[in-house]
Structure 1
Amino acid sequence: MTQWTVHGTRRMYESEWMSVDLDDVEVPQGERFEHHVLRLPYPSTAVVVVEDDHVLLMWRHRFTTDAWGWEIPAGRLEAGETAEDAAVRETEEETGYRTEVEPLVTINPLNGISSHVTHIFVGSNAVKTGEHDPAEAAEVRWVPLDEVPAMIRKGLVPCGITLAALTTYLTLRTT
């Protein structure tokens, strides 16, 4: 087995949201160098909410990429919160729907440069409890699941976590 060796870490930046480190690493062939690592103190959650062959999506703008796209509800866990509780809370805060959740998959979205973990759930039995948060989405819509592959091909789903969640859900529901 080949595994990198970490000889040390030097913290370059830290906030309540993240830290950026330079790790002193050595690859199995012997080369040693500094590698940037983004560390987030809390995992995040995301939810594929499905009802009657439709998925709940949010149309939103991301200033970091200056792009619009469809996304599923997602956010970070708060201190002491379970992933399941965070998934339910984030879905309701962002979309105005409360849902029951069950685990789908856990991913490391940027595992080459980040230790971050995202727990993805499937939501069901959605109940409208209020309006969506306009700071989170310009629109919330129930989209037929059979339209999702075409939306992905057209570039309307640019979020990596949303892509991973939707394609995993679509793949596993047919097996």
Structure 2
Amino acid sequence: MDPDGPVEATKWTIHGERVVDDTRRLRLSVASVELPDGVTFEQYVMRMPKAAMMVVLDNPGTSVLMMWRHRWIFDRWVWELPGGYVDPDEDPAITAAREVEEETGWRPRTSEPLASLQPNVGIADNENLLFLSRGAEYVGGDIDINEAERVAWVPLSSVRERIRKGEILGASSLVGLLHVIAFPPDAR
């Protein structure tokens, strides 16, 4: 199959969506889907706002700023990159930097696009935009107990083991961390 060739023959057709619930952070609907071979079915669809996260590396690029927090949905403590939902009409890079400062007390020195991903590609539209900062300045403030138990500079050399132990589970955190490990940013 040629990925650059015509694709219309394999495109799924959506015959409409019926909204089940619509809130500020989620619109849940049921879509009527038709496959290329004519089979039809209904599929739940979640539409959520964009989110922006930031990989903040320390000056030598050997540690990353992370938050240790409890995720109630699967009742686990995990390390995550700071980030949050993008406000309407807000630049995602601004969101990522704002969230880093609000959640950790560190102000990113730089901001550059790193990657974009859809964590639940089969049922959800919730684009996650990742940014990279090379360094940060501590500006203080209390850690919001609603956001994290603690904030720490985690050595990049420990990330693979933390993933293996299930301490890093979030798709965006995984993508961001594995990206900077696989493709180390040039020192500036």
Say which SS state the counterpart of residue 84 (structure 1) adopts: helix
TM-score by length of 1: 0.95
From 84, 106, 116, give the equivalent of 1:97. 106
Superposition RMSD on alpha carbons, in Å?
A: 1.3
The answer on 1:73 being equivalent to 2:82 is yes
Q: What is residue 137 of structure 2 aligned with on the other side?
A: 127
TM-score, normalising length: structure 2: 0.89
Residue 68 of structure 1 aligns to which amino acid in structure 2? W
Structure with the greater alpha carbon radius of gyration: 2
CA offsets 1:53-98 (integer angstroms, 9 cap, x no match) = 1101110001111110111101001111100100010100111111
Aligned residues: 174
Shift of 1:125: 2.6
2:166 maps to amino acid: G
1:88 aligns with 2:97: yes
Distance across 2 between alignment mates of 1:49 and 1:125: 6
Query: Which of the two has greater strand per residue?
Result: 1
Distance 2:103 2:120 in 1: 24
Question: 1:9-158 counterparts in 2 under 5 A?
Answer: 9-40=17-48, 42-51=49-58, 52=60, 53-99=62-108, 100-131=110-141, 132-158=143-169
What per-residue deviation string (whole Å, max 9, x for no partner) do you get for residues 99-145 of structure 1?
Answer: 02111001011110001101001112301111332211101111111
- The CA deviation at 1:34 is 0.8
How far apart are 1:174 and its partner, in Å? 7.5
Provide the rounded CA distance (Å) in 2 between the counterparts of 1:6 and 1:72. Answer: 35
| Poorly superposed stretches of 4+, deviation over 3 Å | none
Indicate the SS of the match to 2:89: coil
Aligned match for 2:16, one of 2, 5, 8 = 8
Distance in 1, matches of 2:112 and 2:72, equals: 31
Determine if the alignment matches structure 1 residue 165 to structure 2 residue 176.
yes
Please state how far the C-alpha of 1:172 moved relative to its aligned partner.
1.5
